[in-house]
Amino acid sequence: MRKLIFATHNTHKLTEIRQILPEWEILGLTDIGLHDEIIENGQTLEANAEIKADYVYRKTGVSCFADDTGLEVEALNGAPGVHSARYATNGHDFKANMDKLLKEMTGIDKRGARFRTSVCLILNDEKHFFEGIVYGQIITVPRGDEGFGYDPVFVPDGYTKTFAEMDAEEKNSISHRGMAVSKLQDFLLNLLLY
Ligand code: IMP
């Protein structure tokens, strides 16, 4: 089976990606024993995806990709954006981040937001970028136990359920990461044809 490293330790993301790309053996950083802290100090999602992919490619020489995602809230001028993981604290505290977001949005009626994912693939020394976006609304009271991050407060446009009330398959079929990765998948499948 063709191997690709996905530069992440996040098991939720690995599960999602393995469902989206069944033709590839996807190895996470834990699977290859790479536990170095990769400093994501880029100013954009694209820059952070590139930093992670570059680091892993230089260390392993194996084709790899990395993603970076941000929740961009219209009324907060695009925040938390590139700072989504560390919005409330220095760690990836999903609940604290969500609580801070809801607090910042108290009394705000305009609740439009979007999740945006940038994927950087490094293959044969060349870099390729893919983007996925999903628009929706931030609700006031979290709902659902599936998924992770800001999923319980995000209702995608055209739906009544939050991402956290959807199973992985339904979320993947419309999500930012699902979209970016399906562009990645199209690109990889196309390479196999020619
Ligand atoms: P990352 O840099 O791609 O890991 O994403 C940064 C932060 O965005 C994560 O820590 C989560 O809080 C949030 N996030 C990323 N993807 C999702 C998602 O699919 N649903 C909800 N929150 C997400």
Cα–Cα distance list, 83 to 70, 86, 160, 189 (Å): 7, 6, 27, 33
Nearest atom in ligand 1 to the alpha carbon of residue 70 is 8
Q: Measured in angstroms, how far is the CA atom of residue 13 from the centroid of ligand 1?
A: 9
Q: What is the mean pLDDT of residues 160-182?
A: 93
Residue in the structure block whose two tokens are 């359920």: 161
Q: What is the mean pLDDT of residues 57-71?
A: 95
Task: Tell me if 17 sits within 8 A of 31, measured CB to CB.
Answer: no
What amino acid is encoded at 24 in this protein? Answer: W
Domain boundaries, the chain: 2-193
* pLDDT band (50, 70, 90) for residue 194: low
* Confidence at residue 192, expressed as pLDDT on a 0 to 100 scale: 66
CATH 3.90.950.10 is right for the domain spanning 2-193: yes
Q: What is the mean pLDDT of residues 82-105?
A: 94
Residue in the structure block whose two tokens are 């560390």: 86
* Confidence at residue 77, expressed as pLDDT on a 0 to 100 scale: 97
In the chain, the N- to C-terminal Cα span, in Å, equals 18
Higher pLDDT, 12 or 186: 186
Query: Residue 100 pLDDT > 70, yes or no?
Result: yes
Out of 31, 36, 67, 68, pick the active-site residue: 68
- Three-state SS at 162: coil
**Which of 10, 90, 95, 148 for a ligand 1 pocket mutation test, highest count of atoms within 8 Å of Cβ?**
148
Higher pLDDT, 180 or 12: 180
**Which of 71, 83, 95, 169 for a ligand 1 pocket mutation test, highest count of atoms within 8 Å of Cβ?**
71
Is residue 68 flagged as an active site residue? yes
Nearest atom in ligand 1 to the alpha carbon of residue 68 is 3
Which of 9-18, 75-84, 89-98, 165-174 has the least mean pLDDT?
Answer: 9-18
Task: Tell me if 128 sits within 8 A of 51, measured CB to CB.
Answer: no
CA quadruple 142, 19, 125, 42: dihedral, nearest 10? 0
Q: DSSP letter at 175?
A: S
Query: Residue 193 pLDDT > 80, yes or no?
Result: no
* pLDDT band (50, 70, 90) for residue 136: very high
* Confidence at residue 79, expressed as pLDDT on a 0 to 100 scale: 97
Task: Tell me if 43 sits within 8 A of 71, measured CB to CB.
Answer: no
Closest CA relative to residue 117, chosen from 149, 144, 89:
149
Q: How far apart are CA 52 and CA 98, in angstroms?
A: 25
